[in-house]
Amino acid sequence: MEFGFWIVFPEIQILQQINPLIPILNHERITFASEFKKLIQMKKYNFFAGPAILPASVLEQASQAALSFGDMGLSILEISHRSKEFTAVLEEARSLAKELLGLGDDYETLFLQGGASSQFFMIPMNLLNEGETACYVNTGNWSNKAIKEVEHFGNVNVLASSKDENFTYIPKGYDIPSDAKYLHLTSNNTIFGTQYHSFPDTDIPIVCDMSSDIFSRPIPGEKFGLIYAGAQKNMGPAGTTLVIVRKDLLGKVKRSIPTMLDYNTHIEKASAFNTPPVFPIYVSLLTMRWVKEQGGVSAMELHNEEKGALLYDEIDSNPLFVGTARREDRSLMNVPFVMAKGYEELESEFLNICANKGCMGLKGYRTVGGFRASIYNAMTKEGISTLVELMQDFARKKG
């Protein structure tokens, strides 16, 4: 089926190609809901690491809002960021993020731009004085990039690293200096498929990049001084970055901070100092509402554990595939695996079979190779089962 519809005007018919998420009502008054349902049924399984899968109901609501937001008669893409309608969206999003994570009034929620990568320098700029030390644990590409930015503002102490084994595990058992300003962790590593399943016990605040597993499970909120996440992996579309910071950590650096890079600027203006990314924030709100409707982050954790067990069990029992991360540190968001020894030449064939069967985005990152299945909150058990069946069928034919 092509995404084209006949539109009847008084004197002319026009065949117009449209985005698959934007319906057009023809003379037979095809409803938005019925057309959207057809399109969703044709949708493939999205295993890409990011921008990543979103719930179908979120896509539907976002699509409707792209045409007309509420009863405004205007698209969410064109309304004023100062309007009462969007102010309500922003306030609910800021509040709901804290609610889902179980954080109280001593935290402020911000929706910023620049991706999680901008936080690599904004964090030490706002929290670390020259001469002070921040501690980091290097578990992959993103933490390594964050480490490189600290030296512009203060000292960095890399307490531990899993680079010696290509980041296939989470370091443990290291000492955390009591005089460090903060400890920076990356909770989930999209490339290498490792994840913190518990966080270190320390009196210093933990700063954590949760870009790829935010809202996927409960967290011990009292341990964190600052949490940040790019939206595009597990929360919404690319274009906004969530920052939740404990207020007592701010205002203590001696340096002059550029206005746009000062967290207090955005706190004082409720994330609307300049024009915020309206649509990504709105879709992130829809996604957070969806998480709450499913039962919150505790329900998400159970859902993700079931999906992860289904896929990892197949990897461990299938003679053609091998997991790359240590079992105790395996991620429930990103699952890398490779062909077993002697079967490496079958990699491209399996990828082609998956793509032909609607399982998209399974090619592994270049430093790991093989395959990577990103199974964020919105990935269904049906999607995992489809992939598992393909793996089983491939083993029967090739093993």
Which member of 181, 213, 233, 329 is catalytic?
233
Q: Is residue 6 among the annotated active site residues?
A: no
Number of residues that this document lists for the chain: 399
Which amino acid would we find at residue 295? G
Q: Is residue 329 among the annotated active site residues?
A: no
Q: Judge contact between 136 and 206, C-beta under 8 A.
A: no
Which member of 209, 213, 262, 329 is catalytic?
209
DSSP string, 1-13: --SEEEEE-SS-E
In this structure, what is the dihedral angle of CA atoms 134, 138, 139, 144, given to the nearest 10 degrees? 100
Which member of 142, 181, 213, 329 is catalytic?
142
3-state helix, strand, coil in the chain (%, to 5): 40, 20, 45
DSSP string, 271-336: T-SS---HHHHHHHHHHHHHHHHTTHHHHHHHHHHHHHHHHHHHHHH-TTEEE-S-GGGB-SSEEE
Residues 6+ positions from 275 with CB-CB distance below 8 Å: 81
Residues 6+ positions from 178 with CB-CB distance below 8 Å: 203, 204
Residues 6+ positions from 299 with CB-CB distance below 8 Å: none
Q: Is residue 209 among the annotated active site residues?
A: yes
Task: Tell me the sheet residues that pair with 189.
Answer: 194
Q: Judge contact between 336 and 368, C-beta under 8 A.
A: yes
Q: Active-site residues: which are they?
A: 142, 209, 233
